[in-house]
Structure 1
Amino acid sequence: MRLTVHEFISLDGVIQGPGGPEEDPANGFTAGGWAVPFVEGDEFGNVVTGWFARAGALLFGRTTFELMRAFWPDVDPAADPVSASLNTLPKYVVSNTLTDPGWEPTTVLTGDPVDSVARLKDELADRPGELQVHGCARLAAALHAAGLVDEYRLFTFPVTVGAGKRLFTPDAPPTGFRVLETRTTSAGGVYTALEPTAFRRGDITVEDGREVVSIVD
């Protein structure tokens, strides 16, 4: 089962609190809701619905899990395919403090988050669909740093918000990416699906009066 990460991201790389002012005010974040002006229309909805259509299981950190649990059980699954996926698919939440998930079917993963997810990937290796992460800034950043992510699906919106949680943190390892898909919505959102590859470097020199581009490694 491939592990895929889905994020709404600002031009300056922030993924914190895209959906509302109270979604994630941690560390004094006051710009919550920055993605909402750009998510109207069928183009955006079709992309997001397509994400969940590929899901076989869902993986959360505790903060995002509790936000989802407070919202999606109230949305009629018969009317919303995203709600149908969130309310019925197996869910896994990484937490050493959560004892009663209260949103079935959910399994709590304890211990080191990276080790727990690595074991889960092995256990689900032969299952259909994807193990999907949506949001979960700290968990997603940790999985990226550990090299456990098979595909990134990023919706970039034309807005900058300043300080906030990021998927690609300053201490993350250099990573290359292969673009699998890209499209732009009429509201200005840019959707990009990316597969991680080896990080490569190049150099530009001058030989016989001409620029020469070479790959270093």
Structure 2
Amino acid sequence: EPSWSTRTVEDDPGAPFFNDTTKYVVSATLTTATWRNSKIIGRYDPDTIRSLKDEVAGDLYVSGSGTLVRAMLADGLVDELHLCVYPLTRGSGPRLLPEEAAPGNLSLAACESYENGVVYLAYRPQA
């Protein structure tokens, strides 16, 4: 069971967003979803994502899947890329964009820094 599914607004102000929003799950293996408001759409297919973008009122938000974000970027399906940069170094680990990723240009849409050193950045892909 997802950790957010049992949290309330008293536990975390972000809980209603995660629990009440419709979630479209991209997965090649899952067939059922236990978290309320979840719909499994199957393995990644750019045409399915394009259809969702046309059908859904508002924005589609991707959280926690670098693999999905990379595929959507490569297929031109990302309108905005939101990143939080934390003031620490790991030295190794997965990259958001692998070396073999196609080059692309981004334009800065928003930037905000916080007292703890975290910087929020929003970029839009340039055509």
Whether TM exceeds 0.5 here: the answer is yes
Report the CA distance between 1:105 and its aligned residue: 1.1
Report the Cα distance in structure 2 between the residues aligned to 1:142 and 1:135, rounded to whole angstroms: 14
Report the Cα distance in structure 2 between the residues aligned to 1:111 and 1:79, rounded to whole angstroms: 33
Match of 2:55 among 104, 118, 123: 123
Match of 1:110 among 24, 34, 42: 42
Match of 2:95 among 156, 161, 166: 166
Q: Report the RMSD for the aligned CA atoms in angstroms.
A: 1.8
Structure with greater Cα Rg: 1
Taking structure 1 as the reference length, the TM-score comes to: 0.54
Higher RCO (CA < 8 A, seq sep 6+) = 1
> 1:92 and 2:27 equivalent?
no
Report the CA distance between 1:87 and its aligned residue: 0.7
| Secondary structure of residue in 1 paired with 2:14 | helix
The aligned runs of 1:17-36 (5 Å cut-off) are none
In structure 2, stretches of 5+ residues that fail to align are none
Q: Is the 8 A contact 1:110 1:116 kept in 2?
A: no
Task: Give the match for residue 152 of structure 1.
Answer: 81
Name the structure where helix makes up a greater proportion of residues: 1
AA aligned to 2:28 is: N
Report the Cα distance in structure 2 between the residues aligned to 1:112 and 1:155, rounded to whole angstroms: 25
Match of 2:7 among 59, 68, 75: 75
> 1:138 and 2:70 equivalent?
no
Report the Cα distance in structure 2 between the residues aligned to 1:164 and 1:144, rounded to whole angstroms: 20
Task: Give the match for residue 112 of structure 2.
Answer: 183
Report the Cα distance in structure 1 between the residues aligned to 2:40 and 2:6, rounded to whole angstroms: 22
Report the CA distance between 1:90 and its aligned residue: 0.7
Name the structure where strand makes up a greater proportion of residues: 1
> Number of residues paired by the alignment?
127
Report the Cα distance in structure 2 between the residues aligned to 1:154 and 1:98, rounded to whole angstroms: 27
Report the Cα distance in structure 2 between the residues aligned to 1:168 and 1:100, rounded to whole angstroms: 30
Report the Cα distance in structure 2 between the residues aligned to 1:93 and 1:167, rounded to whole angstroms: 20
Identity of aligned residues (%): 35
| Secondary structure of residue in 2 paired with 1:81 | coil
